[in-house]
Amino acid sequence: MENPFIGDPFREEDAGVEDVEDASDLNPYTAMEGYEMEDASGTVVGEIGETVYDAVSNVLKYVVVNGRTVPADRIEVNAKEERVRVPYDRETIDSAPALEDPSGEFDRTLRAHYGERG
């Protein structure tokens, strides 16, 4: 019997198989990365550096600006001007926790920081 673990692990019939997409390829909100974020007063806080998308529920969960996480469910997006506005003040955003594994515990902690119920 031939040992299947010896030799070239890539079979000729697999040559046309494409790699599975990177998870970021599935995030339709990556276009927002680079948009300016304004706080509730209209002051620019920074640029969105990352968007966190929950593919299972098809929801944009968070945006990250200046390394701080902001819940995305209350943002207003102006795609034409490439900016978003959030209903929070700069101090609240600047003191928000950095992005962690988007678990239920992190979500509750983040929403408590912003004065929202999780």
Is the pTM higher than 0.85? The answer reads no
Q: What is the pLDDT of residues 62-106, one digit of tens each?
A: 999 999 999 999 999 999 999 999 999 999 999 999 998 877 899
Residue 35 has pLDDT above 50, yes or no: yes
Q: Which residues pair with 36 in a beta bridge?
A: 47, 83
Q: The domain 26-113: what is its CATH number?
A: 3.90.50.10
In percent, how much of the chain has pLDDT > 70?
77
Half-sphere exposure (Cβ direction) of 19: Cα atoms closer than 13 Å: 4
